[in-house]
Amino acid sequence: MTETTTTPTRPQAVPTVQVDNDRVCVTLWSFAPGAETGPHCHGLDYVVVPLTTGQLLIEMPDGTSRLVDRSAGASYAGTAGTDHNVVNPSATAPFAFVEIELR
């Protein structure tokens, strides 16, 4: 008999599109503890506005990862072509941010 080990599936972050027009797409991302966006590549430049303070785990396609500190209201920008998975590593605290994609 062969025993199989499986990796637990993370809960998915919940995207709520708030504005979607010819200039921008604004999405509220809500992360339960342990939730992830799933691996994705940004097709557009974007700005992120954290709504909470905490850490996010950024996982790269090559298997590397890093923890980043984010503060509520401290916006940051990213570029088209960014390829990653975003994870809320907290076991107890939710995390949320607004992502504004620029068309």
Q: 53: left (phi > 0), else alpha (psi -120 to 50), else beta?
A: beta
- pLDDT for 18 equals 98
Specify the CATH number for the domain of residue 76.
2.60.120.10
Q: Is residue 5 part of a domain?
A: no
- pLDDT for 2 equals 47
pLDDT digits (tens, 9 = 90+) for 45-92: 999 999 999 999 999 999 999 999 999 999 999 999 999 999 999 999
> In sequence order, what E strands does the chain have?
14-20, 24-31, 40-41, 45-50, 54-59, 65-70, 76-78, 83-87, 95-102
Q: Is residue 42 part of a domain?
A: yes
Q: How many domains does the chain have?
A: 1
- Structural domain boundaries, residue 89: 14-102
Q: Is residue 34 part of a domain?
A: yes
pLDDT digits (tens, 9 = 90+) for 1-49: 545 445 569 999 999 999 999 999 999 999 999 999 999 999 999 999 9
- pLDDT for 7 equals 55
Q: Is residue 66 part of a domain?
A: yes
